[in-house]
């Protein structure tokens, strides 16, 4: 159940909100019993988990479950809400450890570069090594495309299928759309991974001269120490009281 300031659906209504570790969260309660225990007397709304996940992650809001409970409840960062909205089996579990790939795959990269050159829809390719919290690590290929229509997507699928034939045995490869502003792997690659294929650089295009940020030191895969795209810093404390709650009796 979402907790509201004002009535749901009215123009001036807004979710209750709180900040933990510099990240925004919307508080909710998980049952009528928890609602009664919270002491909340303003408006609330019953809504499914997937619906609220879809609504919140696009504004980079997380969800905090039962913040009145002993210990402060449980926070769900917006990156995990994105996984809930898309399907837990479709996106890797975070926080993700991201770094430059150390896997030696020269034949794969050479063929992929050749295939990209003959696939006009591809602007650039980047790469990252991804280690999820759950599951095996894998190589992510970032796709920067001129077009994302059905024909373009099919051309890229064929390009990847042809190239994977020479990938090292056992190497898991996944693709990431660089245009996805909510994908933590794409966000990391945009900031730190130089393209290994860049059509405009090859053609001397004007955008090729844009400097890339300095890469992270070895073994470090995040833009700031302890920060992870879509997740709060490790060891963040639970909120003792979120703004808007009635004072404890």
Q: Which domains does the chain have, with CATH numbers?
A: 2-86 (3.40.1350), 97-209 (3.30.460)
Assigned token pair, 187? 């966000």
The residues with which 128 forms a beta bridge, in sequence order, are 140
Q: Measuring CA to CA, which residue among 117, 114, 95, 123 is closest to residue 223?
A: 95
Mark 186-223 as b/e (b = at least 16 C-beta within 10 Å).
Answer: bbbbbebbebbbbbbeeeeeeeeeeeeeeebeeeebbe
State mean pLDDT over 79-105: 88
Higher per-residue pLDDT: 3 or 93: 93
Q: What is the C-alpha separation between 221 and 99, in angstroms, rounded?
A: 5
Range scoring the smallest mean pLDDT among 51-60, 79-88, 215-224: 215-224
Question: What count of other Cβ atoms lies within 10 Å of the Cβ of residue 50?
Answer: 13
State mean pLDDT over 97-108: 91
Burial of 144 by CB count in 10 Å (0-12 exposed, 13-18 middle, 19+ buried)?
buried
203 pLDDT higher than 50: yes
Query: Looking up tokens 């302890």, which residue turns up?
Result: 226
Q: What is the pLDDT of residue 37?
A: 81
Confidence of residue 44 (pLDDT cuts 50, 70, 90): low
Q: What is the C-alpha separation between 162 and 112, in angstroms, rounded?
A: 8
The per-residue pLDDT for range 161-194, each reduced to its tens digit, is 999 999 999 999 999 999 999 998 999 999 999 9
Its pTM stands at 0.73
Beta-strand ranges (E) seen in 22-103 are: 23-28, 44-45, 62-65, 74-76, 97-99
């Amino acid at each position: 159940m979402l907790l509201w300031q004002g009535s749901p659906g009215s123009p001036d209504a807004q979710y209750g909100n709180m900040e933990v570790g510099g990240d925004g969260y919307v508080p909710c309660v998980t049952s009528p019993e928890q609602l009664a225990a919270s002491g909340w007397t303003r408006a609330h709304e019953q809504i499914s988990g997937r619906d609220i996940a879809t609504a919140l992650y696009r504004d980079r809001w997380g969800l905090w479950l039962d913040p009145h409970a002993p210990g402060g409840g449980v926070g769900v960062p917006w990156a995990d809400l994105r996984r809930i909205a898309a399907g837990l089996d479709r996106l890797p579990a975070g926080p993700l450890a991201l770094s430059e790939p150390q896997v030696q795959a020269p034949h794969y990269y050479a063929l992929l570069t050749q295939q990209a050159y003959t696939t006009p829809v591809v602007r650039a390719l980047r790469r990252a090594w991804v280690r999820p919290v759950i599951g095996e690590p894998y190589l992510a290929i970032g796709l920067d495309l001129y077009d994302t229509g059905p024909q373009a997507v099919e051309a890229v699928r064929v390009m990847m299928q042809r190239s994977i034939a020479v990938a090292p045995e056992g190497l898991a490869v996944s693709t990431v759309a660089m245009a996805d502003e909510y994908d933590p792997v794409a966000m990391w690659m945009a900031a730190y991974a130089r393209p290994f294929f860049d059509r405009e650089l090859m053609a001397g295009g004007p955008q090729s001269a844009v400097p890339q940020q300095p890469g992270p030191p070895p073994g470090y895969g995040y833009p700031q120490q302890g920060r992870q795209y879509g997740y709060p810093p490790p060891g963040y404390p639970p909120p003792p009281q979120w703004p808007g709650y009635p004072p404890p009796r």
